[in-house]
Amino acid sequence: MKLLENKLAIITGATRGIGRGIAVEFAKQGANIAFTFSSSVDAAIALEKELTNLGVKAKGYQSNAADFDAAQALAKEVLKEFGTIDILVNNAGITKDNLLMRITEEDFDKVIEVNLKSVFNLTKAVIRPMMKQRSGSIINMSSIVGLKGNAGQTNYAASKAGIVGFSKSVALELGSRNIRSNVVAPGFIETEMTTKLDEATVQNWRDGIPLKRGGQPIDIANACVFLASDMSSYITGQTLSVDGGMLT
């Protein structure tokens, strides 16, 4: 028996990196997938095909998670297409790093909008159908940067810390309706973005991690499968750090 058999998951920002890893693993566990992407149409078509080949129903939606009305429209379309929304993974995110002395107001606002407001937008869009069916699992992607801070990332850290407080509040509000809200906080995860970095820098980061390696998208995906499935039916309002022991 697959852990997510016949469930429908909405995953935002799923065409690459962690989001893509989550989408593939969810499909392997039997979930139908509605995923969003902002601009990479070719990558979306390829992902749609890969997920469908795993024997599930999958559809990509070009949608801006940071736009309130677009999030509402997305939930309506997904409900019409799939008939249910069981899982929401708020994964879409960006960085615009700079020291506080140099960061612009625009770069601060943009990161808060894409990383934090999108979580509000999508969560608000799915809770009505979830309340109706009296079940649902919401998984919000934070970061260890949101838990410990990081120089040069005040905007990113604020957005990711905000996700933790938001998720705990949602857990308190919707627990009586059997809707769970949890957070995954990835550490250093090796994706196509990190391959552009200098190998010596990456190795230096690995050496500072107790498990002596960077994480892979599958490490995050496995944590999300657990939180999306009935295996975690008595877990809500929690933050699971998947970081190789970085915060220990």
Percent of the chain past pLDDT 90, that is, above it, reads: 94
* pLDDT at res. 196: 81
Tell me which H or E stretch contains 109: helix 105-112
* pLDDT at res. 197: 82
Percent of the chain past pLDDT 70, that is, above it, reads: 100
pLDDT tens, residue by residue, 209-226: 999 999 999 999 999 999
* pLDDT at res. 158: 98
pLDDT band at 185 (very low <50, low <70, confident <90, very high): very high
Mean pLDDT of 107-132: 97
- Any idea where the domains of the chain sit in the sequence? 8-190+217-241
Query: CA angle at residue 172 from 166 to 178, to 5 degrees?
Result: 115
Euclidean distance between CA atoms 30 and 72, whole angstroms:
26
pTM, two decimal places = 0.96
Beta strand pairing call for 136-141 and 239-242: unpaired
The structure tokens 């995954």 sit at 184
CA dihedral over 170, 176, 180, 182, signed as positive or negative: positive
Mean pLDDT of 153-175: 98
Compute the mean pLDDT over every residue in the chain, rounded to the nearest whole number: 96
* pLDDT at res. 53: 98
* pLDDT at res. 5: 97
* pLDDT at res. 109: 97
Mean pLDDT of 116-130: 98
CA dihedral over 237, 125, 83, 26, signed as positive or negative: negative
Beta strand pairing call for 239-242 and 87-90: unpaired
* pLDDT at res. 195: 80
Indicate whether 193 pLDDT > 80: no
* Crossing angle for the helix pair 17-28 and 41-53, to the nearest 10 degrees: 20
- Nearest Cα neighbor of 81 from 58, 49, 63 is 58
Query: CA angle at residue 89 from 161 to 141, to 5 degrees?
Result: 25
* pLDDT at res. 192: 81
Catalytic residues: 156
Mean pLDDT of 123-142: 98
* pLDDT at res. 198: 86
The CATH code of the domain at 8-190+217-241 is 3.40.50.720
pLDDT tens, residue by residue, 197-210: 889 989 999 999 99
Euclidean distance between CA atoms 104 and 106, whole angstroms:
5
pLDDT band at 25 (very low <50, low <70, confident <90, very high): very high
Indicate whether 248 pLDDT > 80: yes
pLDDT tens, residue by residue, 53-110: 999 999 999 999 999 999 999 999 999 999 999 999 999 999 999 999 999 999 999 9
